[in-house]
Structure 1
């Protein structure tokens, strides 16, 4: 009987040892699986956090770009408005100076020379010389000197000075008014500023 007990003890020990090893293997595998699952979950969480951060960064960058763009547009608009104000002020001042110029004797010489050149250029025919109401004082002298009908300008804009010479027969005219010259110079100035971004 002793040998059977020995054999049973040995068998029990073997089974117990084997069961202990299997238990330890199962525990190790479970711990390894748990560690892997935790790592995987941690990686998933980190990846989700990374994607959220990247999305937030893109969103912030987009908002920043929009804010900068809006600020730049507002600055450009403000600059353009100010530039237009300055141009308006400059040409208003020039207009005032031109009105003052029309009161001088030098202007009278300019007016007569301009009319003479334009009458020669417009050609023969029924010619009308149109002058500013401010130049009414030269009306009779102009009629006598040029022998054409002289008309006071009665339009919407004040032509400031200068003249319009019209050939009624061939329907041609030359607008050599100070207002026309000022508007041409104004447009040239504006185009020049746009090219130079002044």
Structure 2
């Protein structure tokens, strides 16, 4: 009986010790499990942060690129519109100049210009280039020192005086004047966008 009690106490001691070890193992397992979970959570959070930063950076770059493209398109559209406005304006001016060439004021204008240019350039043998419809007018206005010839360089009116050697040219054509004014207007109109 004593041996039975001893055996029973021994079994109880072993069971108690086993229970304590099992409990310690469970506590240790749970602790390691929590540490592993926390470690994975921290790593996952760091990876998510890196991914978020990369995604935000790509989004920022995309937005900047889209904004830049939008600004470029707006600027391009404004330049096209400016060119249309300037071209439209100078088409009207060209038509007004063409209408002017059909008036008596045009005859007075070219007569004064021709007299001024011929008085400043006294060399003989010069050639005056004019448009076809102005040939007779310039033949009556010019003196014998110059020859009047038709040129396809003049479409609106006026004239170009070339010296005999062809080294000097004075362009008094309305075509050239209109071109110069258009360039000046485009440069100085402050229609820059």
Normalised to the residue count of structure 2, the TM-score between the two structures is 0.82
Q: Tell me if 1:87 matches 2:86.
A: yes
Q: Deviations over 1:144-196 (max 9, x none)?
A: xx3223323322x4341111111114721101110001001111122224x65
* Match in the other structure for 2:150: 153
With 87-96 and 69-78 compared, the bigger mean Cα shift is at 69-78
Q: Deviations over 1:34-82 (max 9, x none)?
A: 1010011111222222222222222222222222222222222222222
**What runs of 5+ residues in structure 1 fail to find an aligned partner?**
none
Q: Tell me if 1:182 matches 2:178.
A: yes
Equivalent positions of 1:49-88 (< 5 A) are 49-88=48-87
Residues in 1 aligned to 2:22 and 2:139: alpha-carbon distance in whole angstroms: 130
Residues in 1 aligned to 2:74 and 2:139: alpha-carbon distance in whole angstroms: 55
Contact 2:124 2:145 in 1 (8 A): no
Contact 1:122 1:165 in 2 (8 A): no
Contact 2:125 2:147 in 1 (8 A): no
* Match in the other structure for 1:98: 97
Q: CA RMSD in A?
A: 2.9
Instruction: Specify whether residues 122 and 28 from structure 1 end up closer, same or farther in structure 2 by C-alpha distance, changes over 3 A only.
Output: farther
Residues in 2 aligned to 1:169 and 1:66: alpha-carbon distance in whole angstroms: 59
Equivalent positions of 1:13-32 (< 5 A) are 20-32=19-31
Q: Secondary structure at the match of 1:168?
A: coil
Residues in 1 aligned to 2:161 and 2:151: alpha-carbon distance in whole angstroms: 15
Q: Deviations over 1:6-31 (max 9, x none)?
A: 8x95x887776665554433332221
Normalised to the residue count of structure 1, the TM-score between the two structures is 0.80
Paired residues in the alignment total 193
**What runs of 5+ residues in structure 2 fail to find an aligned partner?**
none
Residues in 2 aligned to 1:158 and 1:175: alpha-carbon distance in whole angstroms: 10
With 28-37 and 179-188 compared, the bigger mean Cα shift is at 28-37
Q: Secondary structure at the match of 2:88?
A: helix
